[in-house]
Amino acid sequence: IDTGVDYTHPELVNNIWSNTDEIAGNGIDDDGNGYIDDIRGWDWVNNDNNPMDDHSHGTHVSGTITAQGNNSIGVAGVAWNVKIMPLKFLSSGGSGSTANAVLAVDYATANGANLTSNSWGGGAYSQTLYDAIARANANNIAFVAAAGNDGVNNDSSPHYPSSYDLPNIIAVAATDDDDLKASFSCWGPTSVDLAAPGVNILSTTPGNSYGTMSGTSMATPHVSGICALIRSVSPNIPVAQMKQVLMNSVDHIASMQGLVVSNGR
């Protein structure tokens, strides 16, 4: 759930979800999910069936999750055989509405996602968004979320959606290449779960290109990829148990002691 995905990128083209219940281009909502000709997700910014990335953020996080491995080019994602369902609610300028975020979360829930990767946030508390994530939880769908880049303690300054108190939310802080907390990363001894690499991350960008980006946005898809790997070996694992596997298998690095629930990266 992001700015869309360049689903033609050579590293991603084989790992894009296809809505097999929809017939392309016939102008009919074949599967009755409320969206016409949504063969690979949806774009709520432009209200059409083409979730192409016109920013770069969504393509970058997608590459961290699943850039193709062992193909002798570019980079490799965490999980090489996932299917990305491109759900675009962030504009070419990187902003979006909470109302459209709710629609994107509900689309993922209705169309069989295992998890959503949410490298976004900053809005006010929203009961409707909380309820949408709770519906995802009821359907055993993980909600992996960036802890935010304001460098503050989320326990006292909540960051949404990562700070909603729901069992399926996995809130992710960022570390650097020295295993230190990224200076920009939010933390929270009770509200942020774990850390992942998020500084100078090389990944895919639109137009068959690559680039480095930094942020808890870049840490989040590392965790999403691991969740996908867990589901690949244990497809029916309950989301709470999947989260526990993650929490129990972090590396306990010094910089994260007392800053996140798991004390680790």
Catalytic center residues = 2, 57, 217
| Nearest distance from C-beta of residue 59 to Ca ion, angstroms | 24
Q: Are 182 and 199 in contact (CB under 8 A)?
A: yes
Identity of the residue, 4 or 158, whose beta carbon is nearer to Ca ion in the bound complex:
4
Q: Does residue 2 interact with Ca ion by CB under 5 A?
A: no
Q: Quick one: 103 or 196, whose CB is closer to Ca ion?
A: 103
Residues in region 4-23 near Ca ion by CB under 5 A? 22
Segment 30-59, which members bind Ca ion (CB under 5 A)? 31, 33, 35, 38
Pick the closer one to Ca ion by CB: 26 or 183.
26
Q: How far is the CB of 45 from Ca ion (least distance, A)?
A: 18
When the beta carbons of 19 and 185 are compared against Ca ion, the nearer one is 19
Which one among 8, 29, 93, 212 touches Ca ion, defined by CB under 5 A? 29
Whichever of 29 and 177 has its CB closer to Ca ion, that residue is: 29
Identity of residue 172: V
Three-class SS string for the chain? CECCCCCCCCCCHHHECCCCCCCCCCCCCCCCCCCCCCCCCEECCCCECCCCCCCCHHHHHHHHHHCCCCCCCCCCCCCCCCCECCEECCCCCCCCCHHHHHHHHHHHHHCCCCEEEECCCCECCCHHHHHHHHHHHHCCCEEEEECCCCCCECCCCCCECCCCCCCCEEEEEEECCCCCECCCCCEECCCCCEEEECCCEEEEECCCEEEEECCHHHHHHHHHHHHHHHHHHCCCCCHHHHHHHHHHCCCCCHHHCCCECCCCC
* Least distance to Ca ion, CB of residue 67, Å: 28
CA distance 80 to 159: 31
Q: Is 211 helix (H, G, I), strand (E, B) or coil?
A: strand
- Give the length of the chain: 265
CB of 164 to Ca ion, least distance (A): 28
In this structure, what token pair is assigned to residue 264? Answer: 């680790």
Give the shortest CB-170-to-Ca ion separation in angstroms. Answer: 29
User: Considering the complex, what minimum distance in angstroms separates the CB of residue 194 from Ca ion?
Assistant: 36
Q: By C-beta, is 20 or 127 nearer to Ca ion?
A: 20
The footprint of Ca ion (CB under 5 A) covers 22, 29, 31, 33, 35, 38
